């Protein structure tokens, strides 16, 4: 009886170690699958790629690996989006803390732009993340996943609230319209720049930092543009 507790403790530690190892392997497999899906979606489009193709590209002998680890294709897309947004959330929160209660609209728009450009800059070349997000954006059901996930983050809500406070004269429908325009411009401009860098072609701006400034300029112009009166 004296040795029972130590034996049980040793057995428990061994079991916990095995569980941790399995969890680590599963997490590693999930990341490999996400990387493969991101690349294939970027190159071929979400609708043109099957879960089986993703499993094969990820080096998984089990063709049902995607379903096992993620579920449906929509679940897989949601996991890709969440992985992307997790880093953007940290970066945007730091920017928000830096600008405080700024009354300069450019500061708030920069909080939309720079988390993404800094993230893509950190990925290096080649990367497929922005192109993957652009492909997801072309599928209405998948696009809605991105919108829901992004809108649900604390940093995005704070950024949009800060912008709207500085745009009191814009009607609700114009706010929605310009929000959609901003999303389209940002998503596809980032994807085109990423593609140009991957292909070694010319990019309009030499660095992601300069591209962020250009996008902030463009979006500031979009949000502050005059509203034409309705046609008679």
Give per-10-residue mean pLDDT for the chain (232 aa): 54 45 62 97 97 93 88 96 98 98 97 98 96 97 96 97 96 96 97 94 82 97 94 76
Which pLDDT does position 231 carry in this prediction? 79
The domain 23-71 having CATH identifier 1.10.10: the answer here is: yes
Torsion angle defined by CA atoms of residues 45, 143, 105 and 86, in that order, rounded to the nearest 10 degrees: -80
pTM: 0.85
């Amino acid at each position: 009886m004296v040795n029972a507790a130590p034996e049980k403790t040793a057995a428990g530690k061994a079991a916990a170690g095995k569980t941790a190892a399995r969890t680590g392997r599963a997490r590693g497999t999930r990341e490999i699958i996400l990387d493969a899906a991101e690349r294939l979606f970027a190159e071929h489009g979400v609708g043109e790629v099957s879960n089986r193709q993703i499993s094969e590209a990820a080096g998984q002998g089990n063709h049902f690996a995607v379903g096992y680890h993620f579920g449906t294709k929509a679940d897989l897309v949601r996991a890709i989006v969440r992985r992307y947004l997790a880093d953007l959330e940290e970066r945007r929160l730091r920017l928000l803390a830096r600008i405080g209660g700024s009354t300069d609209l450019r500061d708030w728009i920069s909080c939309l732009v720079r988390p993404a450009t800094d993230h893509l800059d950190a990925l290096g070349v080649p990367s497929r993340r922005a192109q993957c997000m652009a492909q997801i954006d072309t599928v209405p059901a998948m696009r809605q996943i991105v919108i829901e996930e992004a809108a649900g983050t604390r940093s995005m809500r704070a950024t949009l609230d800060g912008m709207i406070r500085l745009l009191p004269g814009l009607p609700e429908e114009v706010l929605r319209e310009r929000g959609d325009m901003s999303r389209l411009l940002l998503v596809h401009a980032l994807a085109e720049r990423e593609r140009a860098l991957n292909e070694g072609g010319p990019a309009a701006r030499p660095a992601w930092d300069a591209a962020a400034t250009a996008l902030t300029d463009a979006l500031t112009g979009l949000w502050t543009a005059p509203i034409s009166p309705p046609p008679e």
